[in-house]
Structure 1
Amino acid sequence: MQLLLPIAALGAPLGGLLLAQATPVASPVAAPAGMSGGQVAAYIITALVGAGMGFGLVQLINHLRRRDADKEARDILDRANLEAVARRKEAEIEAKEVALKEKSRVEDEANKLRNELHDRDRQLDKREDALQQRDDQLGKQEKMVESNQRRLAEKTEDVNRRQKELDDLLDVERQTLHRLSGLSPEDARNQLLERLDKELAHEQGALIVKQQKAIEKACDVRAKELLITCIQRFAAAHTAEATTNTVDIPNDDMKGRIIGREGRNIRSFEKATGVDVIIDDTPGVVIVSAFDPVRREVARIALAKLITDGRIHPSRIEEVVAETEKEIDGKLQEYGEEAMQEVDVPGLHPKVITLLGRLRYRTSYSQNVLRHSIEVAFISGLIAEELGMDGDLARRAGLLHDIGKAADHDTEGGHPKIGADLLKRYGENEVVVHAALGHHDDIRPDMPYTVICAAADACSASRPGARRETLDRYIKRMQELESIATGFEGVHQAFAIQAGREVRVIANTKHTSDESAAKICRDIATAFEQQLTYPGEIRVTMIRESRFTETAK
């Protein structure tokens, strides 16, 4: 169509061009004036032919334009129809998809409602069965109650009848007795009183002697009470132990060596000993803190050895701690033997002697338990000898009454039961076992030595300045923290540090993974929240590491 537009523009002059070719070359202005008749006719014909051709060309162009416009309109209509059909198909597809989704949702909701109705039907059936069972049970119980009431009414009627018969018989017997004796009730009562007075007159001497013996016994009891009061005043020197020890260092550069690169030395030391090492600005000292005195003593001696040796690294730390623990075990045996010799109680089992030595590093209400046990042993022996009983047996019971406190860190239960089980296991006398079990009135004190031991224990504990409750509560809290943590499967060791604000848990690598260790850590924290009451917060640190050791030969 665009190529036909120039052709239409050339249609008008085309006739003139043809006429110019048919006439001789001349001036266009002067030619018509000199033309002949034939030339004029040719010129006019040529002009007409040119005009006709121009008009035909214009008509052709218009026809072509209309044809192109019609074709373009038909193309537009075809495209519009195709687009309408496509859009209709898309709309139908979308409508079908929406219908399918809606149908699926309705079916899901219907299934859900059907399942809920089914569950409710089952629950209603169960409740109906339960109600039916209850009705049956109530019916049986009502029948039993009716039967019991019937039997009770029969028994009550029988008892009333027998009571009436008994009353009638008593009346008959009373009347018969009055008739046979010929005495009125007042006369019979007077004769009975006279006879009793005569019999009591013969018992006056016996009553006087009995009263004298009772007075003598009361005086003896009072004298013994005065003696026990004096024994309660028995005093011994006790030092209230703290929960920290200090270790001297030659210079402050040693603090950096104790800490180690990125803190690996101090972490290894705390992990091996279970204590908290405090390194602050205090010159010349390092503080070792732990609630367990045995653990604290091991840490103090081991740290002193490491400082003296100068070789401070994780493997050397573990080696020195192991050696120190062996040395402390030997000292515990020595302390137990010294206490046994001091109280003069021979023949103790070696395990019992070791447990006695552990009591040296145990305090109760800030009172040293070993010294307390020795004191109870002496007081028990004195009381038993004053009462004419076996003083040696009483001293033995007094010395071993708190032996359970040496093992209550590792065993569940109170120290009386733990001590009784240990003493029974190691072949101690039944009297000593009973004294350890009952010195806190946990059981009925059937044996006199148990009462003596309990009295001596109270005397030692209640004297002024013997105990202080705050430290014992603190230690009990530390023990509870460690006990709860070690109660979880997969925990190898647990140490309460930072005055109970942190619990460091060592995981068993064979029974735990990183994921399970994280879960155990969270479970321990949850157990603390549910079972304990404490100020502030407690941080639980779970440590899990793998070690591989090979020996080159």
Structure 2
Amino acid sequence: METNIVFVLAASFIAGFLARYLLGKKFFSKKHHRLFFEAEQEAHKIIKEAHREAETIRKDKILQAKERFIELKSKHEKETHLREKKITDIEKRIWDKERKLSDEIALYHKKNINLQNQATDYEKQLQILSKKYEEIKNIYSEQVKSLEEISQYSADEAREKLIETLKDEAKTKARAYIQQIIEDAQLTAKAEARKILIQSIQRIGTEQAIENAVSVFNIESDDIKGRIIGREGRNIRTLEQVTGVEIIVDDTPEAILLSCFNPVRREIARLALQKLVADGRIHPARIEEVVSKTEKQIEEEIIDNGKKTMIDLDIHGLRPELVKIVGRMKYRSSYGQNLLQHSREVAHLAGTLAAELGLNAKLAKRAGLLHDIGKVPEAESELPHALLGMRWAEKHGEHPEVCNAIGAHHDEIDMKSLIAPIIQIADAISGARPGARRQNLESYAKRLSDMEGIALSFEGVNKSFAVQAGRELWVLVESEKVDDQRAFQLSQEITDRIQNEMTYPGQVRVTVIRETRAVQIAR
């Protein structure tokens, strides 16, 4: 800013000098004189303004310097004040500690004096007590000697005699009390147990459980039968191969029979047929697509059935794997009795019995629902279903009492809690009531399942289906792994194993199906 002022002053001086120089020349006219005068006036004005501005800047600088000085001074005073305050606080803390230490030293000396006085008093009292104890001991000895002289027994002999007398008396009373309890229990136990069982059965109302191996699919007209059969029977043959269900088309009007021992397969075939008839497009490729979608739909329904059963029984916290197993019970049967309905019935009975006996009803219902999960394995197992179910329950973190009840409900293992016999009783009640079970269907389904398992045990077998009530076995093989010659050998090997390992009526026809498909997609 000062450089600018100097520059302005220099310019003004030069302008004034030039003006005076030009004024001295005679060749300037009056006009030039007037311009020179105005320029001189302007120069004086600029110089004056420059002086005024310089004065203003100087005053501002002085003012700023004073403000900065005041600011620094204030900051210094604050720092000095804070430092003095810290020093004062430190001095105060040191003084407080010194005073506290002095008080503690004085208190310690005072307590030490009091302890010395108390120790002196304790010693005096101890001497007095010792004298009293000796006096009492002498008196006791004199009384014991007097009693021994009177009873002619020493103190030890009298003590042993008294103990033996009390023990005999206590044993006699205990035996009498135990005998009384046993007699009361024998009189009332049977009546009480019968009362609890009857009340529990009366509170559980279920229908008769009748299961069969045939489902009826109704159609609107017989014309649809021809479309389902297809040209030369290709549609019905494809449907049987992908579902493993035997489809019987007879003279029954507006109906088709679906025959299979596995309820899941029958349900898949029924739903797939329903979708195909509603859609109208029935050909092998469409059949395979619809059956694949239906299988996924059944898996979702299985999970929904498991969740709904948990909600109905007020059971919470089952692992997703156990929920799926519970849902699959709907499509399984035990001696003709639907397994899910049987398990729900056992859960209700077990919960009622446990509540009547004052036990944990929720734990009993949980064990009742899961007691037969070993009957729905995804793969065949040599273990009894009770032990297999117990292993699954342990694997998925169920309560130890629940696991023990599952494993012990057929006496495979020892019972370790009161819930185990309750589950066994509830299972017997549910299965023994009239119309609950049919023995033949269970053995029939097991025979067909074992037959399919033999076929699946061979390498290269993709699927196997027992049809015609077990008189025929379809074996679908992978064309990449099994050639035509191997297919013939495979049918012979499966036939030999069935003959050696199974007992069955009549004869079994083994059909090995191998096909090669060439599929391309036009884009």
TM-score if structure 1 supplies the norm length? 0.61
Maintained 8 Å contact 1:408/1:415 = no
Query: Which residue is 2:304 aligned to?
Result: 334
Counterpart Cα distance in 1 of 2:309 and 2:335: 21
- Per-residue deviation, 1:444: 2.2
Counterpart Cα distance in 1 of 2:264 and 2:170: 73
Query: Which residue is 1:209 aligned to?
Result: 177
Counterpart Cα distance in 1 of 2:446 and 2:461: 21
Q: How does 1:303-342 map to 2 (within 5 A)?
A: 303-342=273-312
Counterpart Cα distance in 1 of 2:520 and 2:166: 104
- Per-residue deviation, 1:211: 2.2
- Per-residue deviation, 1:411: 4.4
Closer/same/farther in 2, CA of residues 498 and 449 from structure 1, 3 Å limit: same
Q: How does 1:407-446 map to 2 (within 5 A)?
A: 407=377, 410-446=380-416
Within the alignment, does 1:226 sit opposite 2:183 as a pair?
no
- Per-residue deviation, 1:431: 2.2
Within the alignment, does 1:479 sit opposite 2:457 as a pair?
no
Cα offsets for 1:92-120 (capped at 9, x unmatched):
xxxxxxxxxxxxxxxxxxxxxxxxxxxxx
Taking only the aligned residue pairs, the percentage that are identical comes to 43
Q: 424-433 or 525-534, which moves further after superposition?
A: 424-433
Matched residue of 2:465: which SS?
strand
Q: 2:423 aligns with which of 433, 450, 453?
A: 453
Counterpart Cα distance in 2 of 1:435 and 1:203: 38
Counterpart Cα distance in 1 of 2:389 and 2:167: 58
Maintained 8 Å contact 2:272/2:290 = yes
Counterpart Cα distance in 1 of 2:193 and 2:482: 61
Query: Which residue is 1:548 aligned to?
Result: 518
Q: 1:344 aligns with which of 301, 309, 314?
A: 314
Q: How does 1:245-324 map to 2 (within 5 A)?
A: 245-324=215-294
Give the gaps of 5 or more residues in structure 2. Answer: 1-163
Matched residue of 2:208: which SS?
coil
Maintained 8 Å contact 1:332/1:358 = yes
Maintained 8 Å contact 2:210/2:435 = no
Matched residue of 2:476: which SS?
strand
Closer/same/farther in 2, CA of residues 458 and 239 from structure 1, 3 Å limit: closer
Within the alignment, does 1:355 sit opposite 2:355 as a pair?
no
Amino acid of the residue matched to residue 439 of structure 2?
A: E
Closer/same/farther in 2, CA of residues 299 and 410 from structure 1, 3 Å limit: farther
Matched residue of 2:316: which SS?
coil
Counterpart Cα distance in 2 of 1:293 and 1:248: 18
Cα offsets for 1:281-330 (capped at 9, x unmatched):
11111111111101101101111111121111011001111111122112
Give the gaps of 5 or more residues in structure 1. Answer: 1-195
Closer/same/farther in 2, CA of residues 459 and 202 from structure 1, 3 Å limit: closer
- Per-residue deviation, 1:401: 0.7
Maintained 8 Å contact 1:521/1:541 = yes
Of structures 1 and 2, the larger Rg is shown by 1
Closer/same/farther in 2, CA of residues 272 and 448 from structure 1, 3 Å limit: same
Matched residue of 2:184: which SS?
helix
Amino acid of the residue matched to residue 394 of structure 2?
A: K
- Per-residue deviation, 1:223: 4.0
Maintained 8 Å contact 1:409/1:479 = no
Amino acid of the residue matched to residue 367 of structure 2?
A: A
Within the alignment, does 1:493 sit opposite 2:463 as a pair?
yes
Matched residue of 2:425: which SS?
helix
Query: Which residue is 2:345 aligned to?
Result: 375
Maintained 8 Å contact 2:476/2:512 = yes
Number of aligned pairs? 359
Q: 233-242 or 512-521, which moves further after superposition?
A: 233-242
Cα offsets for 1:490-515 (capped at 9, x unmatched):
21111111111111111122322211
Query: Which residue is 2:75 aligned to?
Result: none
Closer/same/farther in 2, CA of residues 343 and 209 from structure 1, 3 Å limit: same
Closer/same/farther in 2, CA of residues 262 and 399 from structure 1, 3 Å limit: same
Query: Which residue is 2:358 aligned to?
Result: 388
TM-score if structure 2 supplies the norm length? 0.65
Maintained 8 Å contact 1:491/1:508 = yes
Closer/same/farther in 2, CA of residues 238 and 354 from structure 1, 3 Å limit: farther
Maintained 8 Å contact 1:493/1:507 = yes
Cα offsets for 1:134-156 (capped at 9, x unmatched):
xxxxxxxxxxxxxxxxxxxxxxx
Maintained 8 Å contact 1:420/1:437 = yes
Cα offsets for 1:452-488 (capped at 9, x unmatched):
2112111111112211111111111111111111112
Matched residue of 1:428: which SS?
coil
Cα offsets for 1:392-448 (capped at 9, x unmatched):
111101101111222266545432233223222322222222222221112222333
